[in-house]
Amino acid sequence: MTGTNRFVTDLFRAVDALDASAFAQRFAEDGTFRFGNAPLVVGRRQIEESVAGFFSMISGLQHEIVGVWSGTWEGGDVTSVETRVVYTRQDATRTDPVPATSTLRMQGATIKDFRIFADISPLFATEPRGSS
Protein backbone atom coordinates (compact mmCIF):
# COMPACT_ATOMS: atom_id res chain seq x y z
CA MET A 1 0.00 0.00 0.00
CA THR A 2 2.95 2.27 -0.58
CA GLY A 3 2.15 5.76 -1.82
CA THR A 4 -1.39 5.95 -0.48
CA ASN A 5 -2.61 8.34 2.15
CA ARG A 6 -2.83 7.19 5.77
CA PHE A 7 -6.65 7.29 5.89
CA VAL A 8 -6.97 4.98 2.86
CA THR A 9 -4.26 2.63 4.13
CA ASP A 10 -5.84 2.37 7.58
CA LEU A 11 -9.32 1.92 6.10
CA PHE A 12 -8.28 -1.03 3.94
CA ARG A 13 -6.24 -2.56 6.78
CA ALA A 14 -9.41 -2.55 8.91
CA VAL A 15 -11.29 -4.29 6.10
CA ASP A 16 -8.53 -6.85 5.58
CA ALA A 17 -8.58 -7.52 9.35
CA LEU A 18 -12.35 -8.18 9.06
CA ASP A 19 -12.90 -5.41 11.63
CA ALA A 20 -16.41 -4.14 10.88
CA SER A 21 -16.37 -1.82 13.89
CA ALA A 22 -13.13 -0.07 12.88
CA PHE A 23 -14.46 0.27 9.33
CA ALA A 24 -17.78 1.77 10.46
CA GLN A 25 -16.12 4.21 12.87
CA ARG A 26 -14.62 6.02 9.88
CA PHE A 27 -18.12 7.04 8.71
CA ALA A 28 -20.15 10.10 9.58
CA GLU A 29 -23.03 9.13 11.90
CA ASP A 30 -25.45 9.44 8.95
CA GLY A 31 -22.99 8.09 6.38
CA THR A 32 -24.06 5.82 3.54
CA PHE A 33 -22.52 2.65 2.11
CA ARG A 34 -23.29 0.61 -1.00
CA PHE A 35 -21.47 -2.54 -2.13
CA GLY A 36 -22.11 -3.20 -5.82
CA ASN A 37 -25.82 -3.41 -6.50
CA ALA A 38 -26.75 -4.22 -2.90
CA PRO A 39 -29.21 -1.90 -1.16
CA LEU A 40 -27.89 1.38 0.23
CA VAL A 41 -27.04 1.14 3.94
CA VAL A 42 -27.54 4.32 5.99
CA GLY A 43 -26.01 5.05 9.39
CA ARG A 44 -22.82 4.00 11.14
CA ARG A 45 -24.45 1.22 13.18
CA GLN A 46 -26.25 -0.25 10.18
CA ILE A 47 -23.03 -0.09 8.13
CA GLU A 48 -21.20 -2.03 10.83
CA GLU A 49 -23.94 -4.69 10.93
CA SER A 50 -24.04 -5.00 7.14
CA VAL A 51 -20.27 -5.32 6.79
CA ALA A 52 -20.07 -7.76 9.72
CA GLY A 53 -22.70 -9.89 7.96
CA PHE A 54 -20.57 -9.99 4.81
CA PHE A 55 -17.43 -10.76 6.80
CA SER A 56 -19.23 -13.73 8.42
CA MET A 57 -19.60 -15.32 4.96
CA ILE A 58 -15.84 -15.39 4.23
CA SER A 59 -12.63 -16.41 5.96
CA GLY A 60 -10.60 -13.45 4.78
CA LEU A 61 -9.69 -10.96 2.11
CA GLN A 62 -6.63 -9.02 1.07
CA HIS A 63 -6.58 -5.77 -0.88
CA GLU A 64 -3.75 -4.67 -3.12
CA ILE A 65 -4.11 -0.95 -3.75
CA VAL A 66 -3.39 -0.24 -7.41
CA GLY A 67 -4.05 3.49 -7.46
CA VAL A 68 -5.57 6.38 -5.52
CA TRP A 69 -7.02 9.55 -7.04
CA SER A 70 -8.32 12.61 -5.26
CA GLY A 71 -10.77 15.30 -6.24
CA THR A 72 -13.76 17.14 -4.88
CA TRP A 73 -17.53 16.84 -4.83
CA GLU A 74 -20.11 19.36 -3.63
CA GLY A 75 -19.68 18.10 -0.04
CA GLY A 76 -15.88 18.13 0.13
CA ASP A 77 -13.08 15.80 -0.84
CA VAL A 78 -13.55 12.59 -2.81
CA THR A 79 -11.08 9.74 -3.16
CA SER A 80 -11.20 6.93 -5.70
CA VAL A 81 -9.29 3.77 -4.81
CA GLU A 82 -8.59 1.05 -7.37
CA THR A 83 -7.78 -2.34 -5.85
CA ARG A 84 -7.33 -6.02 -6.59
CA VAL A 85 -8.94 -8.18 -3.91
CA VAL A 86 -8.28 -11.83 -3.13
CA TYR A 87 -11.10 -13.39 -1.11
CA THR A 88 -10.63 -16.49 1.03
CA ARG A 89 -13.73 -18.63 1.23
CA GLN A 90 -14.77 -20.53 4.33
CA ASP A 91 -13.44 -23.75 2.74
CA ALA A 92 -9.97 -22.06 2.59
CA THR A 93 -9.95 -21.73 -1.23
CA ARG A 94 -9.16 -18.31 -2.65
CA THR A 95 -10.37 -16.34 -5.59
CA ASP A 96 -8.12 -14.99 -8.26
CA PRO A 97 -7.66 -11.23 -7.77
CA VAL A 98 -10.95 -9.41 -8.29
CA PRO A 99 -10.73 -5.82 -9.60
CA ALA A 100 -12.66 -3.25 -7.57
CA THR A 101 -12.97 0.50 -7.35
CA SER A 102 -14.14 2.31 -4.24
CA THR A 103 -15.34 5.90 -4.14
CA LEU A 104 -15.13 7.69 -0.81
CA ARG A 105 -16.98 10.99 -0.53
CA MET A 106 -15.69 12.69 2.58
CA GLN A 107 -17.31 15.05 5.06
CA GLY A 108 -14.41 16.54 6.94
CA ALA A 109 -12.42 13.67 8.42
CA THR A 110 -15.21 11.08 8.05
CA ILE A 111 -16.79 9.21 5.15
CA LYS A 112 -20.16 10.60 4.08
CA ASP A 113 -20.69 8.12 1.25
CA PHE A 114 -18.73 4.97 0.29
CA ARG A 115 -19.44 3.00 -2.88
CA ILE A 116 -17.73 -0.19 -3.99
CA PHE A 117 -17.87 -1.16 -7.65
CA ALA A 118 -16.94 -4.83 -8.09
CA ASP A 119 -18.24 -8.11 -9.42
CA ILE A 120 -17.70 -10.58 -6.59
CA SER A 121 -19.49 -13.48 -8.30
CA PRO A 122 -16.18 -15.45 -8.32
CA LEU A 123 -16.40 -15.51 -4.51
CA PHE A 124 -19.66 -17.45 -4.70
CA ALA A 125 -18.81 -19.64 -7.70
CA THR A 126 -19.70 -23.28 -7.14
CA GLU A 127 -16.44 -24.45 -8.69
CA PRO A 128 -13.70 -22.15 -7.34
CA ARG A 129 -10.85 -21.40 -9.75
CA GLY A 130 -8.44 -19.86 -7.24
CA SER A 131 -5.75 -21.67 -5.31
CA SER A 132 -6.02 -22.90 -1.74
Nearest CA-CA partner of 130 in 51, 67, 60: 60
User: What b/e sequence results for 6-27 when a residue is b if at least 16 CB atoms lie within 10 Å of its CB, and e otherwise?
Assistant: ebbeebbebbeebbbeebbebb
pTM of the predicted model, to two decimals?
0.89
Please give the class, per CATH, of domain 6-124: alpha beta
- What pLDDT score does 130 carry? 54
- What pLDDT score does 125 carry? 87
pLDDT band at 75 (very low <50, low <70, confident <90, very high): confident
CB 66 within 8 A of CB 36: no
User: pLDDT tens, 92-102?
Assistant: 999 999 999 99
**Per-residue pLDDT at 2 exceeds 50:** no
Domain range annotation of the chain: 6-124
User: pLDDT tens, 6-51?
Assistant: 999 999 999 999 999 999 999 999 999 999 999 999 999 999 999 9
AA identity, residue 99? P
